[in-house]
Amino acid sequence: MHKLLVDQPGATKFLLGNEAIARGAIEAGVAFTSTYPGTPSSEISLNFFQMSRESDLYFEYSTNEKVALEVAAAAANAGVRSMCVMKHVGVNVAADTLMTLAYVGVRGGLVILTADDPYMFSSQNEQDNRYYGKLSGLPILEPSSAEEAKEMMDYAFELSEQLQEPVLFRTTTRLNHSTAPVVLGEMKKRVTSGDFPKDPFNYVTVPAVSRKLHVKLLKNLEKAEALACESAYNFIKGSGGWGIICNGVSYNYVTDAVRDLNIADKVKVLRVGFSHPMPKTLIQSFIKDCEKVLVVEEGEPFMEEMVKAFAQEIQYTNPVKGKDPELFSRLFEFDPAMVRSNIAKYFGVSYDAKDLTDLSDIPELPQRPPTLCAGCSHRAVFYAVNQATEGAGTIRTTDIGCYTLGFLPPLSAGDFLICMGSSVSTGCGFSKTTDKKVISFIGDSTFFHSGIPGLVNAVFNNHDVNLIILDNQITAMTGHQPHPGVDMKGMNYNGFNQISIESVVKGLGVEHISVIKPYNVKKSIAAIKEAIAHKGVSVIIARQGCTLFEKSLKKHVGKPFYVSDKCKNHKNCLNDLGCPAFYVEEDKVRINAALCSGCGVCAQICPEHAILPLK
Amino acid sequence: MDITRLIIVAVGGQGNLLSSKVLGEAACRLGVPVRMSEIHGMAQRGGVVESAMIFGDAQSTIISDGEADLFLAFEPLEALRALNRCNSKTIVITNTSKLPPFTAAIGKGTYPDIEIIKGLIQSKVGQLITLDANALAKEAGNELSVNMVLLGALIETNVLPITADSIHEAISETTKKAFVETNIKAVELGRSAVKQ
């Protein structure tokens, strides 16, 4: 049985934040779940997927976040408790839906989880999604720890049903990817089906209906604010003349700092866990007798600005600070020492900060950037593109996935990237405005997610771009999730269909289409040359399963290669491919057999044919 | 309860996430408060993987620069790179077996001599313990049990309130059945390698 389905109330499990969140949803009786995978939220959906295989929980990997939210919105409006999981930038994709869903509301509980990524451990920006609460008018809950996240999930569903609105559940990487002992609770029964009573004058958002719904939304906001002021998740610890207001993981750093600085009798801490609408009267009564107030929050001054506005209403004129050149930054994530020293500085507490180790005599060390795996077919494609376009000025627009890593030398296969699906459309803009040939790279999952509209646009407006779809037949970057192009039957998952990328591309009217096997270097180069010579839209589908995934399935384990005595040290293999299986020993090129997957690309490009398979 | 902060650094694929999981499970069994935090977005792409584990009554799940009491490195270059996490009292344990990054292979930077690495670390921390965990893993019967060898060396320092028995139990529960025996052997080899 799946470890998160175990019925053992009171048992303590050492759970990842994301596991605790999934368990919390299960305990709350969630019955319908959807997602598009994205770090740091991916493990929540992975656990839902696994549990859906052995229970009546419904789960789907949806095409993108907008679709995921729409299926969940309808399920919730049929009265079924639903949850939709995405990373912070996924909410941008779903934002169109979110903004008007806030007007329409829900009947059964709907929790939308947004996993923010301060410091951008695995994201293209560090936007603070609390502003989505403000923008849409929806309530936001923010836990501080794995165990609280589990507990708060039940409340999130209750709150959603009470207000008849979706609830935004906001986490950050340090919560999603932290692990702690979590006590399991009772599991509510899942109600997996409901009904949708027709009421078009409340559900069909034509202007006349929406005018009415916006009034309802604002009334709901008032109700929510009253609830926030009373919420057990907005609590005060300690007493004293100094005030600290904090949220999320910052609360942990504040708690540790108050203990380390020995100031528990001087400071009171307001932890805001129900952060939109901000609990106005609670905050006003908290600050009114404080000598000064410090707001500790990662990201934007979301709470700080509100606290200052609330202070103005009650003519509170003592200092309120947070984001400040001398205190906290809007950049990146916080850490315990930073919070400790800023609290000490702001309130004038003396303490001996530890001297940092003097590292001035450490030599410059070789970097260890993440890189495409040994045998990754993306490398083979990028090499072939470099050969096919040698000497020709090209612009390479790229997209979000493992293949983004190809932007680094020696492959240099990426000049421009904004977000999911941007490769094709930005390619169109560059091709119209420069005299360079444009090549766009997109992964299979990303193509389905948001690449198709860009390709439609390219065909309709007759752009001159070559799109290479890097089809490794899985969503590799986030941990090998399925997507609409995956052969689910082949992986023993029944009940799915498979969509052929060729058929889609053909159906869109692309004139020049070719399919290549990336490990065949010569043929790949020839096909790329041909595609580039085509004036207009051309598409190459480069198909080869993800090496890492196939290794995990014990499929395709090729014989490793070695460098024989015929080697004359041209080092093309080393310098042009950047494969991590290679190393140099006493100026001789060598291949680490344990890493080599046997793709054979290096063997094909060696001018001396010196690279041979191990017998 | 006193707070002990441990940082583990490794190269993606060396299995440090499993070793921290085993350690955390062992702490849970003993009722020792524990929290940990990991960054594993790029774990399988050859980048550096870092775990922070905090034992005792702290709320934070991460460790600031200079504040590790214990520091375990799966690879000597990464030990040196992460030295900013340590202070003059930190106990450092490092594997001496090298895993040169690809950048060094193509001539972008030089991998420092192992004796220089040891000397630099020694000069800045409280205590340095070194062992060739790869050789011991091989001796245990599985080259991939480097993580368990290092786990053994770590608990032998007796800084953490974690017993060898609880580690054995956590291994039996957490790791794949076929590997339990070699994993326990690897832990024991790690322990005896650093026994003083």
Q: For chain B, give the longest Cα–Cα distance.
A: 49
Indicate if A582 and A440 belong to the same structural domain: no
β B4-11/B48-55 pair status: antiparallel
What's chain B's length in residues?
196
Domain count, chain A: 4
Residue A70, domain member (yes or no): yes
Q: Which amino acid is at A228?
A: A
Indicate if A547 and A426 belong to the same structural domain: yes
Q: Which amino acid is at A291?
A: E
Residue B48 near residue B71, CB atoms below 8 Å? no
Q: Which residue of B has its CA nearest to A580?
A: B102
pLDDT for B25 equals 94
Q: At what angle do helices B180-194 and B146-156 cross, to 10 degrees?
A: 40
Best to test chain A binding among B8, B18, B21, B61 (most A CBs inside 10 Å): B61
Q: Above pLDDT 70, what percent of chain B?
A: 97
Best to test chain B binding among A338, A339, A368 (most B CBs inside 10 Å): A368
How high is the mean pLDDT of chain B? 93
**Of A144-148, A263-267, A333-337, A481-485, which gets the smallest average pLDDT?**
A481-485
Facing residues of A355 across strands?
none
Cis peptide before A482 (omega within 30 of 0): no
Indicate if A34 and A148 belong to the same structural domain: yes
Average confidence (pLDDT) over A195-215: 98
Over residues A564-591, the pLDDT tens digits come to: 999 999 999 999 998 989 988 888 999 9
Helix or strand holding residue A218 (H, E): helix A207-230
pLDDT for B23 equals 96
Using the 8-state DSSP alphabet, how is residue A408 labeled?
S
Compute the distance between CA of residue B128 and CA of residue B91 in angstroms, rounded to an integer.
6
Compute the distance between CA of residue B77 and CA of residue B120 in angstroms, rounded to an integer.
11
Over residues A171-180, the pLDDT tens digits come to: 999 999 999 9
β B48-55/B34-39 pair status: antiparallel
Residue A352 near residue B67, CB atoms below 8 Å? no
Indicate if A151 and A295 belong to the same structural domain: no
Indicate if A337 and A425 belong to the same structural domain: no
CB atoms closer than 10 angstroms to residue A468: 29
Indicate if A264 and A385 belong to the same structural domain: no
pLDDT for B40 equals 65
Indicate if A57 and A162 belong to the same structural domain: yes
Buried b (16+ CB within 10 A) or exposed e, A278-290: bbbebbbebbeeb
Average confidence (pLDDT) over B159-171: 96
Q: Which amino acid is at A99?
A: M
Facing residues of B95 across strands?
B131
Residue B101 has pLDDT above 70, yes or no: yes
Secondary-structure breakdown of chain B: helix, strand, coil percentages, each rounded to the nearest 5: 45, 20, 35
Indicate if A109 and A157 belong to the same structural domain: yes
Domain CATH for A316: 3.40.50.920
**Of A108-122, A314-328, A408-422, A479-493, which gets the smallest average pLDDT?**
A479-493
Query: The sheet that has B70-73: what strands, in order across it?
Result: A12-16, A178-183, B34-39, B48-55, B4-11, B70-73, B91-95, B127-131
CB atoms closer than 10 angstroms to residue A27: 20
Residues of A in contact with B36 (CB under 8 A): 178-180
Compute the distance between CA of residue A395 and CA of residue A427 in angstroms, rounded to an integer.
8
Domain CATH for A183: 3.40.50.970
- With a CB cutoff of 8 Å and minimum separation 6, the contacts of A120 are A126
Domains parsed from chain B with CATH numbers: 4-101+112-194 (3.40.920.10)
Sign of the C-alpha dihedral, residues A124, A129, A134, A135? Answer: positive
**Residue A426 lies in domain:** 377-552
Compute the distance between CA of residue B194 and CA of residue B196 in angstroms, rounded to an integer.
6
- pLDDT class for A558, splitting at 50, 70, 90? confident
Residue A3, domain member (yes or no): no
Facing residues of B94 across strands?
B73, B130
Residue A370, domain member (yes or no): no
Residue A384, domain member (yes or no): yes
Residues of A in contact with B58 (CB under 8 A): 256
Residue A360, domain member (yes or no): no
Helix or strand holding residue A505 (H, E): helix A501-507
Strands (E), A223-364: 234-237, 242-246, 267-272, 274-276, 292-296, 320-321
Indicate if A467 and A567 belong to the same structural domain: no
Over residues A151-189, the pLDDT tens digits come to: 999 999 999 999 999 999 999 999 999 999 999 999 999
Q: Chain-centre distance of CA A225, in angstroms?
A: 29
Of the residues A177, A199, A229, which one is the last residue of a structural domain?
A229
Residue A459, domain member (yes or no): yes
Compute the distance between CA of residue A295 and CA of residue B77 in angstroms, rounded to an integer.
39
Verify whether the Cβ–Cβ distance B66 to A337 is below 8 Å.
Answer: yes
Degrees (nearest 5) of the Cα angle A463, A466, A469?
125
Indicate if A387 and A508 belong to the same structural domain: yes
Degrees (nearest 5) of the Cα angle A511, A512, A514?
140
| Chain A contacts in chain B segment 82-101 (CB below 8 A) | 83-84, 86-88, 100-101
Indicate if A66 and A174 belong to the same structural domain: yes
Residue A358, domain member (yes or no): no
Domain CATH for A586: 3.30.70.20
Of the residues A514, A530, A552, which one is the last residue of a structural domain?
A552
Indicate if A309 and A270 belong to the same structural domain: yes
Cis peptide before B76 (omega within 30 of 0): no
Residue B22 near residue B174, CB atoms below 8 Å? yes
- pLDDT class for A556, splitting at 50, 70, 90? low
Residue A52 near residue A33, CB atoms below 8 Å? yes
Q: Is B48 on the interface with A (CB under 8 A)?
A: yes
Q: Which residue of B has its CA nearest to A362?
A: B120
Q: Chain-centre distance of CA A419, in angstroms?
A: 11
Instruction: Residue A498: name the closest of A448, A451, A450, A548 by CA.
Output: A448
Residue A262 near residue A347, CB atoms below 8 Å? no
Helix or strand holding residue B182 (H, E): helix B180-194
Distances in Å between the Cα of A138 and the Cα atoms of A131, A163, A245, B145 are 10, 10, 21, 49
Using the 8-state DSSP alphabet, how is residue A481 labeled?
B
Sign of the C-alpha dihedral, residues A569, A575, A579, A581? Answer: positive
Q: Above pLDDT 90, what percent of chain A?
A: 91
Residues of A in contact with B59 (CB under 8 A): 144-145, 251-253, 255-256
Considering only the beta carbons, identify the residue of B21, B61, B106 that sits closest to A575: B106
Residues of B in contact with A370 (CB under 8 A): 12, 42, 45-47
| Chain A contacts in chain B segment 17-46 (CB below 8 A) | 21, 24-25, 28, 33-42, 44-46
Write the secondary structure of A335-378 as one string of H (helix), E (strand) and C (coil).
CHHHHHHHHHHHHCCCCCCCCCCCCCCCCCCCCCCCCCCCCCHH
Residue A4, domain member (yes or no): no
Of the residues A178, A211, A229, which one is the last residue of a structural domain?
A229
Over residues A102-116, the pLDDT tens digits come to: 999 999 999 999 999
The ipTM estimated for the assembled molecules is 0.95
Compute the distance between CA of residue A417 and CA of residue A399 in angstroms, rounded to an integer.
6
